Amino acid sequence: ETNVTAVHTLDDREEVANLFTHYGYTALPVVDKEHRLVGIVTVDDAMDVLQEEATEDMELMAAMTPSEHPYLRTNTFDIWKQRIPWLLILMLSATFTGIILTHFEGALMSCAILTSFVPMLSGTGGNSGTQASTAIIRALSLGEVRFSDCLEVLWKEFRVSLCCGICLAAANFVKMMVVDYWLLNNPSVTPMVALVVCATLVCTVACAKLVGCSLPILAEKLGLDPA
């Protein structure tokens, strides 16, 4: 056999593990720079690597530093060290929301009811961005998406965001009219206020999904872990 699929001694172990998924082999030869056989990698080795990498990605996406030990065998102080840096970063970054709200304080005071919908808008935006980023991180790890596919990914997520945003806006408009305006008899929730909130919801979902899908691709291009 002259056309042999092999891996090199310096190859990244996650990329080697993905070859088993791509080709369906049960073993792969390992060669050095002179293409001399130095060993083999089997599919059970690949499964161990993929499990470790998947666990690490899940922990990073949940804003935790990856741990090498099982949960029950990790002491409280180590878990604290894994979580507190990310919590501090996220807390400080959340202050930008307060700065933005302060900038629009005059507009919000003229229609105070809008303030009550800010948590819903920010939460929906965060959930929308998480959906997009999770899908793209998985596609990157499986080799389904590359940096050259960035424009195609953005276009696809933009169309998805419009579909999701319009559906969410329609449901929210009905909820505001039926529950807030009619059942709770809140005169501040007018059809115009509902339209403003729903239009903002569509824009928020669109922005969140575009940012959520582009940041992992950019991170991969810069050599960072997309998770």
List CB contacts of 49: < 8 A, sequence separation 6 or more.
13, 14, 16, 17
- Whether the Cβ atoms of residue 172 and residue 198 lie closer than 8 Å to each other: yes
Torsion of CA 171, 176, 181, 185, to 10 degrees: 110
**pLDDT per residue rounded down to tens, the chain (227 residues):** 778 888 899 888 878 888 887 788 889 999 998 889 999 998 888 888 877 777 777 766 666 666 666 667 778 887 788 778 878 887 887 788 778 778 887 777 777 788 888 889 989 999 999 899 988 988 887 778 888 889 999 999 999 999 999 999 999 999 999 998 888 888 888 899 999 999 999 999 999 999 999 999 999 889 887 87
In terms of pTM, does the model score above 0.85? no
